[in-house]
Amino acid sequence: MKPYYLLLLACPVLFSYCSKSKTADPIPPPAPTVNFSITNWDVNGVYSLSDYKAVRINALIRLHFPVAIDRATVTAAIGFNGGNDITSYLNGDSVILLQPAAPLSYLTKYTVTISTLLKSRPGGSLSQAVNFSLLTELDSSDKFAQIPDAQLLDKVQRQTFTYFWENGHPVSGMARERESSAETVTTGGTGFGIMSMLAAVSRGFITRAEGRDRILKISNFLINNCSRYHGAFAHWINGSTGVTQPFSANDNGGDLVETAFLVQGLLAARQYFDAADVTETDLRTKINTIWDGVEWDWYRQGNQNVLYWHWSPTNGWLINQQIKGWNEGLVVYVLAASSRTHAIPKVVYTEGWASNGGIINNNSYYGYQLPMGPSNGGPLFFEHYSFMGINPNGLSDPYANYLTQATNHTKINYEYCKANPQNWYGYSSQTWGLTASDGPAPGGYQAHSPANDRGVITPTAALSSFPYTPTESMAALKFFYYKLGNKLWGNYGFYDAYKLSDPWFTSSTLAIDQGPIIVMIENYRTGLLWNLFTSCTEIKNGMKQVLGFTAPYLP
C-alpha cells in the first residue's frame, strides 16, 4: 500500500485538471428563429396558380412548406371561405391538407388566404402572406326537361314576346327601355317590339285584333303626344306624356337611327294588316303619316352627302355624329332612299354610308373573309338591327354580298369565342356571342366585341344570328336554356348577359336585345318580317332604283 501522503500530493493536480475541463465548455446560445416561405400549393394536383377555374366541387387543397408547421397557429392563419376541415398534416407537418367539410357549391368563387400569423414548429413566421382563388365547375346537368328543338324555339319566342306585351307601357303601348323602366320608353326598341307582335300574331300567341289594336295605340301616341324633330323621334320618350327624355346631356332631340328602327317595324305592320276594314285601314293611314313625316334629307345637315345621327332644338348639330358604315345603320339609308316625301339621292349613300368604298375590308379572320367593317367584324348587332327587315339573302351591291357579310361576321365572332385568346372561363362552341349589352362593374353597358372583350356573353348575339349560323346558334340556345337554367332564364326570356369568369349574371332585360331574338328567329323559321318589309313598294324602289341593290326580291 502506498503511503497516504503520496495520494494527497497527487490530488491538487487532479482537482486542478478537472476544474479547468468544466469551464472550457460554455453553454451554446439558442439557435436564431428562421422565417420561411410557402414552397407551393396545389388544388386537385394542379400547382401554384393564382386563379383556378372549373375546380371540382370535392376539392382537395394542399399547402406545402419547407418546415414543420406549428399546428396551434393554423386556425388563425389560414382562411378558406369554403368552410374547410383540416383533415390531416402530412410529411412531418410540412404539408397541410384542406378538405371542405361538404362539397363546394357549383359555379362559385372561393378564396384561400394564408397570413403571416402562421408559424413553424421552431418558431419562425411565414415571411409573406399568400392567397389564391378557385372557381368551381358548372353543374352540367339539365335544369329543364328536354323538349324538341321546334318547341324550344316556340318557347323562347313566346316568353321573350311577353317583354313587349306584358311589360309594354300601359298608356303609350311602347316598349319600355328596360324591364325596370317605369316611364322611359324607347323608340328603336318599340320598332323591334312591333315586329315581334307580327310574329306573335302569326304564331297565335295573340290574336290579330290584339296585335292590330296595340300597334294602333302606339301609332296614335306617336302622332298625338310625341315631339318630332324634323320628323324624327327622340331616342327616349316618357311613356305617359310623350315628352322627350334626354338620352345624354346633348341628345335631347331627334335620333335618326332610332327613328329608322321604329319606321322599319311600322312599315312591316302596314304590310301585315292589309285588310279593307275600317280599323286596319286607319292603322295603315297613321303609319303612312309617321313614315312620310320623317325629313330624312334634312338630316344631311346643309345638303352634305352624308346623314347625321342627331339634331337637337337647343344644341343643334353639336353631337355631329355622321352615320357611316359599317354598323347597324344600313336601314337608315334604305329608308331615306325609299322615302316618298324626303328622299336622298344615291350619292349620299355612296359618299356618306360607304365612304366611296372605304367601307370595304375583305381581310380574313379565322378563315372567313369579311367584306366590310372593322377588324374581326365588331359587335354582332351590326348584322341584326337593320336585317330584321332587310333580307340579306341574295342581296348585293358594289361593296358586298350581304348574306356573306352577315354569315362571316357571325362565324368570326363564334370562332373568336372558341379560340378564346383572352382565356376567359366558359367560352366555347356552346357559350359564345359578343354584342352590346349590360356587363359587370366597372364598365356596365358596353358594345362587346373581339376588340372589346370583357368576358361577357350576351344571349341575343347568338340567338339573333339563327338565320346565319343555325347549328351554332342552336347549340348556344341549348346551353343557355338547359345548362344555365334559371340563372339566365326569367319571366321575359333570357336575361341580358352573363360572365362565367366572375361569375356574374344580370337580371336585366332590354328592349333592343329582346326584340331581335324573336324577330330573327322568326326570319330563320319563316322569313316573315323580311317578306313584309321588302314587300313595300317604296322599299323595293329605293333599294333597287336609287341605291342599286340587286336581290331576287327586287325584280
Per DSSP, the three-state class of 166 is coil
- Which residue type is seen at 12? P
Calpha distance 136→54 (Å, rounded)? 5
Nearest in space to 218 (alpha carbons), one of 260, 186, 177, 180: 186
Model confidence at 3: pLDDT above 50: no
Residue 402: what pLDDT? 98
Least confident of 25-34, 212-221, 268-277, 430-439: 25-34
Calpha distance 126→469 (Å, rounded)? 55
Across 203-223, average pLDDT: 98
Model confidence at 382: pLDDT above 70: yes
Q: At what angle do helices 256-272 and 187-203 cross, to 10 degrees?
A: 20
Residue 31: what pLDDT? 58
Q: H-type helices in 185-252, by residue range?
A: 187-203, 208-224
Q: What is the CA radius of gyration of the chain?
A: 35
Q: What pLDDT, in 10s, does the model give residues 226-275?
A: 999 999 999 999 999 999 999 999 999 999 999 999 999 999 999 999 99
The CATH code of domain 149-546 reads: 1.50.10.140
Calpha distance 99→88 (Å, rounded)? 9
Q: H-type helices in 420-510, by residue range?
A: 459-463, 470-478
Residue 62: what pLDDT? 97
What confidence category does residue 25 fall into, taking pLDDT thresholds of 50, 70 and 90?
A: low
Q: Are strands 489-490 and 46-47 parallel, antiparallel or unpaired?
A: unpaired
C-alpha cell at 235: 331616342
Calpha distance 131→268 (Å, rounded)? 58
Calpha distance 122→555 (Å, rounded)? 91
Residue 326: what pLDDT? 97
Residue 30: what pLDDT? 60
> Which stretch of DSSP H or E encloses residue 329?
none
Q: What pLDDT, in 10s, does the model give residues 65-74?
A: 999 999 999 9
Calpha distance 499→346 (Å, rounded)? 43
Percent residues over pLDDT 90 in the chain = 92
Q: Do residues 472 and 479 lie in contact, with contact meaning Cβ atoms separated by under 8 Å?
A: no
> Which stretch of DSSP H or E encloses residue 46?
strand 46-47
Calpha distance 8→11 (Å, rounded)? 5
Dihedral angle computed from the Cα positions of residues 194, 200, 205 and 206, in that order, rounded to the nearest 10 degrees: 40
Q: Do residues 175 and 165 lie in contact, with contact meaning Cβ atoms separated by under 8 Å?
A: no
CA atoms within 13 A on the CB side of 473: 24
Residue 534: what pLDDT? 98
- What are the residue ranges spanned by the domains of the chain? 40-136, 149-546
Across 286-305, average pLDDT: 98
CA atoms within 13 A on the CB side of 97: 12
What confidence category does residue 82 fall into, taking pLDDT thresholds of 50, 70 and 90?
A: confident
Q: Do residues 287 and 267 lie in contact, with contact meaning Cβ atoms separated by under 8 Å?
A: yes
Residue 28: what pLDDT? 67
Q: What pLDDT, in 10s, does the model give residues 122-158?
A: 999 999 999 999 999 999 999 999 999 999 999 999 9
**What's the DSSP call for residue 27?**
P
Q: Do residues 190 and 175 lie in contact, with contact meaning Cβ atoms separated by under 8 Å?
A: yes
User: The domain at 40-136 falls in which architecture?
Assistant: Sandwich (2.60)
- Residues 6 or more apart whose CB falls under 8 angstroms from that of 409 comprise 370, 373, 377, 378, 380, 382, 383, 468
Q: What pLDDT, in 10s, does the model give residues 328-371?
A: 999 999 999 999 999 999 999 999 999 999 999 999 999 999 99
DSSP bridge partners of 499: 504
Calpha distance 297→259 (Å, rounded)? 14
Q: H-type helices in 33-89, by residue range?
A: 74-77
Report long-range pairs for 314-322 (Cβ below 8 Å, ≥24 apart). Answer: 314/252, 314/253, 315/250, 315/252, 315/253, 318/250, 319/250, 319/251, 322/352
